[in-house]
């Protein structure tokens, strides 16, 4: 590490002893990182481990308090992104920075416009964008407006921007967080093409399957410190989890008692349309009993969202019924459904699940603002709300400074715990949990699963929707698989075969496919 031999020409990037503090908080502590030329180097770690901070330092967006940076074997002071770019670095940020009203080509050349006679030369920009797009296999239509494009394509444009600036080492910060599995696979293809052409890729993720699939080397960060750098082939998923979390985490199937509850939710022939008015949920029929966890598996976008929205009153059903202990949810308002006994952990928690700008107490009050002891005669008792918040922070291990902490300051996992705390203490008979642990740290995932099992043990009927099959195999008593809006079949959670479920998720399981004509 400490030598400055000429062999460093083989390394694209070297970070040596990087420390970065924000006030008293140490985001990176004495981090070393060596990235060899021509490899895909994954950086993994829980939320807040300091991955983005480290990359921002490398790219010149932040200045380290200590340590130095060597690019292509040369000591470099990366004072600003321009320095990084001229050294051949490029960064695709976690959030995209495109101008929606401009065309793809204009975005690619934004800030380095090709000019002729003082005016922007659109024709050349378009031609060059097309050439880059073809050379690297990143399909885009240069003249299209960005506002009309999907997130996956927006990401391609971000990558093209970086390529247009001559990058040889490309940093991608959690690129797959916004992609569908199909889009992710295409991205990996592109990344492999880059390294085949002698370029270098630094890839941040906390999806371990992806890391296993695509990377050559893995570096693990934990609490701002460098834990290990190893060839991916030497590691198992369990090794990575242990290094990220600092202890063993079990995602084995949870042991459980057999229960024999009453039917709480009875869904019959339920249909619903999506926002484009096309049928998105087709003829769903199933039940959920008290003391039972039913899982809904499927690739995202196969009708699960619509199912959850219909059950919670956020979307009208076009046909069918969903009886919750005698009341038909399809005929009720959201308020009446909650009254009837629904607790709902929504999939898009930042939009639906919380008011990020409000305090924890205030978020926990939602749905209780008209009930004692939180309010009497329409007057709120903020003391009761505060006490409730203190209690829940303790019980659900929410990492916050206190009940008045603003929710948007919390990490994703802790925001999810605020939602769970509110919904799980509702005394509702039916729990609808959409993506219980999406974006939640691995350590916190385990405790969320514990809490869901506790809800089962207390006799509630639980419906868990998840795109992570592992999670359902851990939790569910029965798993229903959805494809193209339909429930393709049911498997027992205890003896489920993930191979077979995978086939059903892809719509490939014959014999179970209903023979109705698709509409």
Q: Which residues bind ligand ADP (CB under 6 A)?
A: 22, 25, 27, 45, 47-53
Q: Which does residue 27 touch among Mg ion, ligand ADP, other proteins, none (CB within 5 to 8 A, set by kind)?
A: ligand ADP
CB-nearer residue toward Mg ion: 52 or 219: 52
Q: What minimum distance in Å lies between the beta carbon of 64 and ligand ADP?
A: 13
Q: Which does 362 bind (CB under 5 to 8 A by kind): Mg ion, other proteins, ligand ADP, none?
A: other proteins
CA dist., res. 354 & res. 334, Å (int) = 16
Closer of 280 and 354 to other proteins (Cβ): 354
CA 480 – CA 496 distance, rounded (Å): 11
Q: Computed over its alpha carbons, how large is the radius of gyration of the chain?
A: 25
- Comparison of 368 and 456: residue with beta carbon closer to other proteins: 368
Taking the least distance from each CB to other proteins, the nearer of 24 and 379 is: 379
Of residues 225 and 500, the one with the C-beta less far from ligand ADP: 225
Site for Mg ion in 125-154 (CB under 5 A): none
Residue 110 tokens read as 């934004």
Footprint of other proteins (CB under 8 A): 52, 94-97, 174, 177-178, 312, 314, 333-335, 337-339, 344, 346, 348-358, 362, 365-367, 369-370, 375, 378-380, 382, 404, 406, 408, 412, 416, 435, 438-440
Strands (E), 252-370: 263-273, 279-289, 292-297, 319-324, 327-328, 342-345
- To other proteins, the closest distance from the beta carbon of 307 in angstroms equals 16
Instruction: Spell out where 191-244 has E strands.
Output: 200-204, 217-222, 225-231
- What is the nearest approach in angstroms of ligand ADP to the Cβ of residue 55? 8
Q: Where are the alpha helices (DSSP H) in 136-220?
A: 151-164, 181-196, 208-214
Least distance (Å) from ligand ADP to the CB of residue 411?
Answer: 7
The listed partner (Mg ion, ligand ADP, other proteins, none) that binds 401, CB under 5 to 8 Å by sort, is: none
Residue 473: both structure tokens together: 């195999």
Could you tell me which of 250, 201, 232, 237 has the C-alpha nearest to residue 90?
201
In angstroms, what is the minimal distance from the CB of 349 to other proteins? 6
Nearest distance, CB of residue 51 and Mg ion, angstroms: 5
Query: What whole-number distance in Å separates Cα of residue 386 and Cα of residue 359?
Result: 10
Query: Which residue matches tokens 């470099």?
Result: 76
Distance CA 245, CA 243 (A): 6
C-alpha distances out from residue 217 to 33, 41, 42, 200, 491, Å: 11, 5, 6, 12, 37
Which structure tokens are listed for 293?
A: 């966890």
Tell me 406's DSSP state: B
- Smaller CB distance to other proteins: residue 356 or 502? 356
Binding characters for Mg ion, 41-60, by CB under 5 A (x = yes):
-----------x--------
CA 486 – CA 271 distance, rounded (Å): 9
Query: Rounded to the nearest whole angstrom, what is the least distance from the CB of residue 380 to other proteins in the complex?
Result: 5
Residues that bind Mg ion (CB under 5 A): 52
């Amino acid at each position: 590490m400490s030598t400055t031999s000429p062999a460093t020409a083989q390394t694209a990037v070297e970070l040596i002893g990087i420390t970065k503090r924000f006030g008293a908080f140490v985001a990176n502590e004495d981090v070393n990182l060596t990235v060899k030329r021509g490899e895909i180097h994954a950086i993994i770690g829980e939320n807040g481990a300091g991955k983005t901070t480290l990359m921002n330092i490398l790219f010149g967006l932040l200045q380290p308090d200590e340590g130095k940076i060597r690019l292509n074997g040369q000591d470099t002071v990366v004072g600003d992104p321009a320095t990084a770019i001229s050294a051949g670095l490029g960064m695709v940020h976690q959030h995209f920075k495109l101008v929606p009203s401009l065309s793809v080509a204009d975005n690619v050349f934004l800030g380095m416009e090709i000019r002729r006679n003082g005016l922007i030369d659109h024709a050349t920009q378009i031609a060059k964008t097309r050439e880059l797009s073809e050379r690297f296999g990143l399909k885009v239509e240069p003249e299209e407006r960005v506002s009309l494009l999907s997130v996956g394509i927006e990401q391609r444009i971000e990558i093209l921007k970086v390529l247009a600036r001559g990058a040889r080492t490309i940093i991608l910060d959690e690129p797959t967080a916004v992609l569908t599995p199909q889009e992710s696979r295409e991205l990996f293809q592109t990344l492999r093409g880059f390294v085949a052409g002698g370029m270098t890729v630094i890839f941040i993720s906390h999806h371990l399957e992806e890391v296993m699939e695509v990377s050559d080397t893995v570096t693990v960060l934990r609490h701002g410190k460098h834990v290990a750098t190893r060839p991916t082939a030497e590691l198992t998923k369990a090794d990575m989890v242990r290094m990220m979390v600092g202890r063993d985490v079990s995602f084995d199937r949870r042991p459980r008692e057999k229960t024999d509850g009453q039917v709480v939710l009875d869904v019959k022939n339920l249909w619903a349309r999506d926002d484009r008015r096309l049928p998105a949920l087709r003829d769903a029929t199933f039940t959920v009993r008290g003391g039972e966890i039913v899982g809904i598996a499927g690739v995202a976008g196969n009708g699960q969202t619509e199912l959850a929205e219909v059950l919670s009153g956020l979307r009208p059903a076009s046909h069918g019924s969903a009886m919750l202990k005698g009341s038909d949810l399809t005929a009720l308002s959201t308020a009446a459904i909650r009254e009837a006994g629904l607790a709902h952990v929504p999939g898009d928690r930042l939009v639906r699940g919380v008011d990020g700008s409000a305090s924890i107490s205030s978020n926990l009050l939602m749905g209780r603002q008209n009930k004692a002891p939180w309010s009497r005669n329409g007057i709120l008792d903020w003391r009761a709300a505060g006490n409730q918040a203190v209690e829940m922070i303790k019980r659900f291990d929410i990492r916050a400074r206190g009940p008045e902490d603003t929710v948007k300051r919390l990490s994703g996992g802790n925001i999810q715990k605020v939602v769970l705390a509110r919904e799980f203490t509702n005394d509702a008979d039916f729990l609808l949990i959409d993506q219980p642990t999406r974006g939640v740290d691995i350590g916190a995932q385990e405790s969320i699963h514990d809490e869901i099992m506790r809800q089962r043990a207390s006799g509630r009927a639980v419906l868990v929707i998840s795109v992570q099959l592992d999670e359902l195999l851990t939790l569910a008593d029965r798993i229903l698989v959805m494809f193209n809006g339909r429930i393709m079949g049911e498997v027992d959670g205890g003896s489920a075969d993930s191979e077979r479920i995978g086939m059903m998720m892809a719509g490939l399981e014959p014999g179970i496919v209903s023979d109705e004509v698709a509409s």
